[in-house]
Amino acid sequence: MSTPELRVGVVGFGWMGQVHARALTRLVQHYPDTALRPRLVAVADNAPDDRTARAAAAYGFEHLLSDWRELVEHPEVDLVCVTGPNFIHRDVAVAAARAGKHLWVEKPAGRDAGETAEIVAAVEAAGVQAAAGFNYRNVPAVERARRIVASGAIGEIEHSTVRFLADYSADPDAALSWRFRTEFSGSGVLGDLVSHATDLLGYVVAPVAELVVDRATFIAQRREAVPGAMHYEKGAGALGDVENEDYVSALLRLADGSRAVLESSRVAVGEQNTYGFEVHGTRGAVAWDFRRMNELRVASARDDAYTDTFYATEYAGPGDGEIGAFQPGTNNPVGFDDLKVVEARRLVESIATGTPVGATIHDALAAARVLDAMILSSDERKWVQL
């Protein structure tokens, strides 16, 4: 018997839209037992040029549309991937859910917790499945870290550090794109990177219960973008104000009673995708760095030798997350796009069974509430409880 189809539409066909398309195309290659076989039906982009048309054709999409509303209402679309700019996420996702479509929404799902809650309400009312793009929790070494923490092997957790540092906005001559305008982005590095960091911390250790935060904007003005320019391209117009934060630092109290420090920047010269965490317990620690994705550093006290316990590097292998779907043995690394294939797998399983698997829109709402609390803490210079 043939595998039933899952007919897919993608809203926004930049880098992340194409990552989604690749992941769905590869799904049956890595998971031949998949309950549904993705079929790429339509792309919607507000300004489809020749480059977009060529890309859509290369992936095998059947239709290229200029209006996302047409895609959402298309009778041959079952799943809508929301990968456009932040300011369209809520409208597209709510409309798609109301039309009975399943969702795969990139973070931040909404510009704030209110918008994200609207998506959650639409999803629950429609009874559809909705995945959120928290791909870092799918790293096999992260799954191993989570298992070690949960097992108690490093004892009771005392404190953690999580850093998400990048340089993608470090150029002061980069254009004043939508990412730097609160009306369109909702926030700056908070929505872009801190949403990932808080989800990862909650997944591996525990949710945030209370926090105090400092924010800073180091590049206060940028030149207006030319039409269609990305945030990393040079600006050419008049100077305008950057309306959201470049940098965030936070002290966190977690639901398990442990403490954490979080730091994130989009203007950190010398840092490219410097994402990772350290978790310290009473009998050891685990540490992970995205730039060495397949490795997990583990320290475990033996014979009560707490003061001279050293890290040893362990490599992800069979039994760690979904690595077996991609590689045959230990220390055969997975890559970024593989993490999105795992997301696709879990979403398809959710759709087929009706039971959520993997990161969901509810996880996106939890992260959004943390971000809103961070903004309140920074603005009012106080501790905030969630």
Q: Determine contact, residues 269/194, Cβ cutoff 8 Å.
A: no
Q: What is the pLDDT of residues 127-143, one digit of tens each?
A: 999 999 999 999 999 99
Return the H-helix or E-strand segment holding 22: helix 15-30
The reported pTM is 0.95
**pLDDT computed for residue 218 by the predictor:** 98
Please give the structure tokens belonging to residue 385. Answer: 């409880």
Q: Determine contact, residues 144/151, Cβ cutoff 8 Å.
A: no
| 3-state helix/strand/coil string of 279-333 | EEECCEEEEEEHHHCCEEEEEECCCCCHHHCCCEEEECCCCCCCHHHCCCCCCCC
Q: Determine contact, residues 103/96, Cβ cutoff 8 Å.
A: yes
How many CA atoms does the CB half-sphere of 218 hold within 13 Å?
A: 15
Q: Determine contact, residues 365/192, Cβ cutoff 8 Å.
A: no
Return the H-helix or E-strand segment holding 64: strand 63-65
Q: CA 26, CA 223: separation in Å to the nearest integer? A: 40
Q: CA 34, CA 115: separation in Å to the nearest integer? A: 32
**pLDDT computed for residue 229 by the predictor:** 63
**pLDDT computed for residue 306 by the predictor:** 74
Taking CA atoms, 290 is separated from 21, 207, 265, in Å, by 23, 21, 16
Q: Determine contact, residues 250/370, Cβ cutoff 8 Å.
A: no
Q: Determine contact, residues 185/242, Cβ cutoff 8 Å.
A: no
B/e letters for 123-161, b = 16+ CB within 10 Å, e = fewer, are beebebbbbbbbbbbbbbbbbbbbebbeeeebbebebbb
Q: Measure CA of the first residue to CA of the last residue in the chain; give whole Å.
A: 50
Q: What is the pLDDT of residues 306-326, one digit of tens each?
A: 777 889 999 999 999 999 999
**Residue 278, Cβ neighbours under 10 Å: how many?**
19
Q: What phi and psi, each to the nearest 5 degrees, are found at residue 169?
A: -120, 20
Taking CA atoms, 97 is separated from 82, 104, 123, 366, in Å, by 12, 11, 5, 19
**Residue 284, Cβ neighbours under 10 Å: how many?**
20
3-state secondary structure of 198: helix
Beta pairing, strands 312-315 & 295-300: antiparallel
Per-block average pLDDT, block size 10, for the chain (386 residues)?
A: 91 96 98 97 86 92 95 97 97 98 97 98 98 98 98 97 97 94 97 98 98 98 80 84 98 98 98 98 97 96 79 94 94 95 98 97 98 98 98
3-state secondary structure of 11: strand
Return the H-helix or E-strand segment holding 254: strand 247-254
**pLDDT computed for residue 50 by the predictor:** 84
Give the neighbor-by-neighbor strand order of the sheet with 208-216.
312-315, 295-300, 284-289, 274-281, 157-165, 259-265, 247-254, 208-216, 384-385
**pLDDT computed for residue 51 by the predictor:** 84
Closest CA to 176 of 110, 243, 111, 112: 243
Q: CA 166, CA 220: separation in Å to the nearest integer? A: 18
